[in-house]
Amino acid sequence: MHPAPELRLLLDLTTIPTAAGREGRVIAWIERWASERPDLALRRDPSGNLILERRTPDRASRPLFITAHLDHPAFVVEQIIGPGTILASFRGGVMDPYFREARVEVFPPQGDPLRATVIDKRDAKPFPQWLIELDDGQGADALAPGLIARWALPPASIEGDLLHTDACDDLAALAASLVAFDRLRAEPRAAHVRLLFTRAEEVGFIGAIAACKHETMPKDARVIALENSRSFPTDSPIGGGPIVRVGDRLSTFSPALTGAVARVAEAIASSGGGAGGAVAPGGAHPYRWQRKLMPGGACEATAFQAWGYEATCVCLPLGNYHNMANLQSVQDGDAQAVAHAQVAREFISISDYRGMIELLVRCATDLGGAWGAEPLTDRLERLFQQGRGVLDSTPGPT
């Protein structure tokens, strides 16, 4: 049975090799997708970030930008050491135990990926470097600096409500933004919505910072940054719904915008979800969403906010963050876990993914109304007026 279109797109995108500064394959996929929709325009800013919008956008209204990043932690070939041996930088955050004799695949310009093994580390700046040896030296003539290598993992699969794949972070969120934007193409109330896809997030928000410096987004833009954020099972469970993220380990986000997005999520939940909402295999269930800080990492909303944008984040709870299985035990220094650390496919909930799509669609059309809800100061003043009488009497005995 063929998967639904939004799942086919999700599978396609999350299996594309990508790395910070080497996002070309994902960009080419998006270019093909956009070229099939003549009412949309795709352009690049001076640093190669992508902007997707209608050919006739609403430029009179305050813009809403939905953002996602194009890269995922991976190797980039820096030097050919000898026949079948390469030196590759690793661009992204993965703990050293996961590299020990890890199996990887190197992607030449054409043909099948070349299988290889990580054999040693070289300390280097700005990125750590690793010696990688091809199996039997096969395909060595296809090696060249700039090629991507990534973990050799089983094929992507959907198992029940879970997608297991190479790179949920951040390509699953990027997929959700495209599906939502596609559904909004004929919606007149969403002509102010645009997408921004940034480069090199995994090495310090480099593309997002460049977009801020270029003013790729107008300074009055509202920004919803999309992410896949490490799940903590008792706090931010996978399958608990998309997360309206109030902050990360570096900052807290715009209270007004975060509150407005949360009110949209509340409205969806109170109405029982919508046509594009979170639907579990075998039938519908009430719309689920979460509101969390997510301190396990940092996201681009922090960068956008630092440059003066009103920004917040919506994320998918993520398993095997950055392809690191059993991460908590490895971080805790458990000797067995460290000795047997292995990479694995990342995974997310399909219902969370569909819930993110629904939330983005509704934010595009309803965020203005949610923004116009009763201001917090007015609500607190109303509560004070209703309850101030309790202060008219003395506190009583101590």
Domain boundary assignment for the chain: 5-72+156-373, 74-151
In whole angstroms, give the CA distance from residue 98 to residue 70.
23
130, 157, 169, 265, 324 from 348: Cα distances, Å: 29, 11, 10, 19, 14
In whole angstroms, give the CA distance from residue 34 to residue 46.
20
Is pLDDT at 277 greater than 70 in this prediction?
no
Band of pLDDT at residue 378, cut at 50, 70 and 90: confident
Largest interatomic CA distance in the chain: 88
Q: Residue type for 273, please?
A: G
Helices (H) then strands (E): counts for the chain: 10, 19
- Please give the mean pLDDT across all residues of the chain: 93
Given CATH 1.10.20, say whether it is the number of domain 74-151.
no
Is pLDDT at 201 greater than 80 in this prediction?
yes
In whole angstroms, give the CA distance from residue 350 to residue 281.
9
Is pLDDT at 283 greater than 80 in this prediction?
no
Which DSSP state fits 22?
Answer: B
Closest CA to 107 of 136, 73, 134: 134
- Choose the weakest-confidence range: 34-43, 98-107, 297-306, 367-376: 367-376
Query: What average pLDDT does this structure show over 116-133?
Result: 96
- pLDDT tens per residue, range 185-194: 999 999 999 9
Strand pairing partners for 67?
Answer: 196, 225
Please give the CATH topology (third level) of the domain spanning 5-72+156-373: Aminopeptidase (3.40.630)
89, 215, 233, 237, 299 from 230: Cα distances, Å: 24, 30, 10, 10, 11
Is pLDDT at 370 greater than 70 in this prediction?
no
How high is the pLDDT of residue 278? 46
Is pLDDT at 8 greater than 80 in this prediction?
yes
List, as own/partner pairs, every contact residues 258-261 make where C-beta atoms lie below 8 angstroms and the sequence separation is at least 24, other chains included: 258/312, 259/370, 259/373, 259/376, 260/367, 260/370, 260/371, 260/373, 261/224, 261/312, 261/314, 261/359, 261/363, 261/367, 261/370
Is pLDDT at 364 greater than 60 in this prediction?
yes
Band of pLDDT at residue 284, cut at 50, 70 and 90: low
Strand pairing partners for 224?
Answer: 66, 312
In whole angstroms, give the CA distance from residue 210 to residue 127.
20
Tokens at residue 274, please?
Answer: 């919508």
- pLDDT tens per residue, range 60-108: 999 999 999 999 999 999 999 988 999 999 999 999 999 999 999 999 9
Q: Residue type for 347, please?
A: F
Tokens at residue 313, please?
Answer: 């984040």
- Please classify residue 382 by burial: count the beta carbons closer than 10 Å to its beta carbon, then call 0-12 exposed, 13-18 middle and 19+ buried: exposed
Is pLDDT at 291 greater than 80 in this prediction?
yes
Query: What average pLDDT does this structure show over 36-62?
Result: 96
5-72+156-373 and 74-151: identical CATH topology: no
Residue that the structure tokens 């099948």 belong to: 112
Query: What average pLDDT does this structure show over 294-319?
Result: 96
Is pLDDT at 276 greater than 80 in this prediction?
no
In whole angstroms, give the CA distance from residue 250 to residue 311.
14
